[in-house]
Amino acid sequence: MNASYAKVNHYRNNHYEGMGSEQLILLLYNGALTRFRLAREGIEENNVKKLGENLSKAIAIIAELNTSLDPTTNDESIQFLRGLYRAILVELPKASATKDITIITRAEKYISELKNIWVNHVMAEKGSSIKDPQKENQRSHMSSFSV
């Protein structure tokens, strides 16, 4: 069984190694948004396990986004992102204890807006030909319904 896990991890590592930093950040944003949605569902379904697992994964993703910021850069946008990520990291654990969906929804709105800025400004400015996989899935899904 360990050999199977090693093969999967090797595949994952190779998959991510080929990605640029812009695509990796987009992947983190998409992952956080997915985990927020699932954590909200956990609260709505009164499923503590679903809430806990997905909230902890969302927290890990936000922590990774925070640590991915260049520590040597001290411009205003980096300081803003650091502050926002840290505030989200302080607030999210409260959602688990209080079952307060508004905490998750607020974090989700911030990350969604950052993702939009990332895609529409940062990736577009760098001329990234990499597309947002979530939008591509939505487009292909919607095109299957066209008449």
CATH number, domain with residue 52: 1.20.120.340
- Residue 147: partners with Cβ closer than 8 Å, 6 or more residues away: none
pTM of the predicted structure, to 2 decimals: 0.76
- Residue 81: partners with Cβ closer than 8 Å, 6 or more residues away: 65, 66, 69, 114
Residue 40 lies in a domain: yes
What number is the average pLDDT over the span 125-145?
49
Task: Answer for the pair 25, 5: CB distance below 8 angstroms, yes or no.
Answer: no
Q: Comparing 4 with 117, which gets the higher pLDDT?
A: 117
Could you read off the pLDDT of 6-60 as tens digits, one per residue? Answer: 555 554 455 556 678 899 999 999 999 999 999 999 999 999 999 999 999 999 9
Residue 50 lies in a domain: yes
pLDDT tier at 128 (50, 70, 90 boundaries)? Answer: low
Total domains in the fold of the chain: 1
Residue 31 lies in a domain: yes
